[in-house]
Chains A and B, each alone.
Chain A
Amino acid sequence: MSRSLGNKDDAFLNEVIEATPGGEALVTCLQCGTCGGSCPSGPDMDHTPRQLFQMINAGMRQEVLQSNAPWYCVTCYYCMTRCPKQIPITDLMYTLKRMAVRAKLYDDSDAPDWSSSFIGFVESYGRSFEFGLATRYHLTHSPLRKVGVGPMGLEMIVKDRMPLRPERIKGIDQLRTILDTAKSLEGV
């Protein structure tokens, strides 16, 4: 079954659809622009979701995976809720992030590193660890620019809202087995 118009390479389009629950709806995009108009971080994006979808349809793999748009998605779900074709836009943004990281095409490391630092703590302890995350990430990513938030971090500690030690769940080995199995099932 042909999923798009014209005589072109649909490999990228199909890959995106395959990796996204409900992703088939992508080909029904009307190019109405409701998504970009609803997006709180739209002004910071290289491309609005509407543009990205047309680029995916056109097979522009490199340009799409280099775009900062998915990394500026704040997952507010406004676009997805308002889309007249019920395209799961937020889920597609997640897909593009995963594909960009695997293809090593997105060159600003801040956002992917934040995600992977977060995941690192979850996989070590089963819980997120805010203090460890903030210190590890901010000390490696432009630490001088972050000096201003230091007093706030200190106040969070004083106000008993920033535990200094992580909590580890009892079933951490079970959790790791589950996560490893899931990754190998997906082939990553």
Chain B
Amino acid sequence: MRYGYYPGCSLTGTARPYEVSTKAIAGPLGLTFEEVEDWNCCGATEYMSLNKTAAYALVARNLALAAGEDKPKDLVAPCSLCYLNLRKTNHYMAKYKSLGKMTNQALAAGGLHYTPGSLNVRHLIDVIVNDVGYEALGARVTRPLTGLRVAPYYGCLLVRPDLNGGSFDDTEYPTHLDRLMETLGAEVVDFPLKTHCCGGHMTQISAETAYELIRRLLHNAAEYRADLLVTLCPMCQFNLDAYQTQVNRHLGTDFHLPILYFTQMIGLAMGMEPKALAIGQEIVSAASVLRKIGTAVEVEEAPQTRRKRDDKSLPMPRIREG
């Protein structure tokens, strides 16, 4: 099965483990990804905040480069934010004629054109559960993730906005990631906050707002005694993993919940070595929870960063786990 592939900027940086694990499982699952030649940034949530038409044109350049007679009709994005921007531009250019026309006028200045709707924009998980399918995936499981308690974290942008019924799963309570993890043999815990926000860019511009949103998610997963959270979005992974220490320090909590990508879990269940899936590059180490699935998984322990006592901080109630 051939697909156009749009990695997006995060997969070349903070979400490198997502890229590594996606590439590791693609071949064995029969998926061929053809990277869009010379793709550019999708603009995240920032470009649209300052420019409208240019924001759509920025995304549309990628669509124009990905489309063509000899190119795959399905364009796959593993990052939920890239997926949203590509999908929304594809949809809005068709729905709002003047926006579509203006975007194409801008593209024309660069010698490009895009006919809205000529590509199907799809998230990586959609391709895996619907094109590969649960059955074929289950047949490839050689190291079932038995005993691992997983909180399936979808975040916002995989399922929202709906865009005229075009959402890949339920907008409030999706279940595909749950079923996927069950297929791999993991125990899926109930996770009511599964589509709540990780704080997005608020970690950068209003940290207190973001820390509280991150705390709620970690608290909810810990309440259901999850060993780890599994995600499909680079922003969600980054906020929950890299800022977990900050959240603990600021809010007086003591969470230690590893955050892994669903592609890493698929690779593990298919018997791949953790290193080949870039496991070990997470900030909150997954090594000890992964021992639950057998001795075959040996992960290098990450060096422990020393936690400093911040005596100037106000006394805060401590939330105990377990």
With most chain B CB atoms within 10 A of its CB, the pick from A98, A171, A180 is A171
A156 near B14 with CB under 8 A, answer yes
**A111 pairs with B205, CB closer than 8 A:** yes
- B244: nearest chain-A partner, CB-CB: A152
- On whether the beta carbons of A182 and B44 are closer than 8 Å, the reply is no
B40: which A residues are within 8 A, CB to CB? 122, 126-127, 169, 171, 175
Contacts of B99 in A (CB 8 A): 21
Q: Which residues of B contact A74 (CB under 8 A)?
A: 156, 197, 199-202, 213
Q: Which of B94-132 contact A (CB under 8 A)?
A: 95-96, 99, 102-103, 105-107, 109-112
A-B contact pairs, 22 of them (CB 8 A): A44-B209, A75-B45, A75-B200, A76-B160, A78-B156, A98-B51, A110-B205, A114-B201, A115-B47, A127-B41, A130-B9, A134-B204, A152-B246, A163-B13, A171-B38, A174-B110, A174-B111, A175-B58, A178-B57, A178-B106, A179-B54, A182-B106
User: What 5 new A-B contacts, CB under 8 Å, besides A128-B9, A178-B109?
Assistant: A75-B200, A127-B12, A161-B15, A177-B110, A186-B51
From B57, B160, B197, B243, give the contact of A179 (CB < 8 A). Answer: B57
In the assembled complex, B276 has its CB within 8 A of some CB on chain A: no
Inter-chain contact A128/B41, CB cutoff 8 Å: yes
B249 and chain A: residue at smallest CB distance: A148
Q: Mark B177-221, 1 if CB is under 8 A from A, else 0.
A: 000000000000000000011011110111001000100000000
B57 contacts A110, C-beta separation under 8 Å: no
**What residues on B are CB-neighbors of A1 within 8 Å?**
none
Contact check, B209 vs A98: say whether CB atoms are below 8 A apart: no
Is the CB–CB distance between A152 and B16 below 8 Å?
no
Q: How far is the CA of A112 from the CA of B52 in the complex (A)?
A: 15
A77: interface (CB < 8 Å): yes
Binding site for A on B (CB under 8 A): 9-10, 12-17, 38-41, 43-54, 56-58, 61, 92, 95-96, 99, 102-103, 105-107, 109-112, 156-157, 160-162, 171-172, 196-197, 199-202, 204-206, 209, 213, 242-243, 245-246, 249, 281-283, 302, 305
Q: Pick the contact of A40: B13, B14, B197, B243 (CB < 8 A).
A: B197
| Distance from A120 Cβ to chain B, minimum over Cβ atoms (Å) | 10
B106 contact from A110, A114, A181, Cβ within 8 A: A181
Interface residue count on the A side (C-beta < 8 Å): 64
Chain A residue numbers with a CB within 8 Å of B162 are 81
When chains A and B are docked, how far (Å) is the Cα of A93 from the Cα of B16?
31
A169 to B49, Cβ gap below 8 A? no
Q: Is the CB of A169 within 8 A of B197?
A: no
Q: Which residue of A lies closest to B96 (CB)?
A: A21
CA gap between A181 and B105 in the complex, in Å: 8
If the complex has contacts A74-B200, A127-B9, A169-B38, are A122 and B43 also in contact, measured as CB distance less than 8 A?
yes
A6 interface contact, C-beta 8 A: no
The 4 closest A-B pairs by CB, nearest first: A182-B106, A77-B160, A181-B109, A118-B46
Q: Which residues of A contact B209 (CB under 8 A)?
A: 41, 44, 72
Cα-based distance from A185 to B99 in the complex (angstroms): 11
Query: B161 contacts A97, CB within 8 Å?
Result: no
Q: Which of B15, B41, B199 has the most CB of A within 10 A?
A: B41
CB distance B52 to A94 under 8 Å? yes
Q: Does A57 contact B (CB under 8 A)?
A: no
Give the interface SS of chain A, mostly helix, strand, loop or mixed: helix
Are A178 and B112 in contact, CB atoms less than 8 angstroms apart? Answer: yes
Map CB proximity to B onto A45-82 as digits: 1 under 8 Å, 0 otherwise: 00000000000000000000000000110111110110
Interface centre among B46, B48, B171, B245 (most CB of A within 10 A): B46
Q: Is the pair A162, B14 in contact by a Cβ cutoff of 8 Å? A: yes
Is the beta-carbon distance between A185 and B13 smaller than 8 angstroms? no
Interface string of A154-165 (1 = CB under 8 A from B): 011001111100
Contact B249 A169 (CB under 8 A): no
Nearest CB in chain A: distance from B132 CB, A? 27
Contact A160 B246 (CB under 8 A): no
Residues of B within 8 A of A8 (CB): none
Which A residues between 108 and 162 are near B, CB-CB below 8 angstroms? 110-112, 114-116, 118-119, 122, 126-128, 130-131, 134, 137, 148-149, 151-152, 155-156, 159-162
CB-CB under 8 A from B202, the residues of chain A are: 41, 72, 74
Q: Is the CB of B61 within 8 A of A77?
A: no
CA distance A41 to B47 in the complex (A): 21
Cα of A163 to Cα of B197 in the assembled complex, Å: 26
- A183-B54 in contact (CB<8A): yes
Rounded to whole angstroms, the CA-CA distance of A19 and B102 in the bound complex is 13
Chain B neighbourhood of A112, CB < 8 A: 49-50
Query: A124 to chain B: closest CB distance in Å?
Result: 11
B46 touches A156 (CB 8 A): no
Query: Could you tell me the distance between the alpha carbons of A98 and B99 in the complex, rounded to whole angstroms?
Result: 17
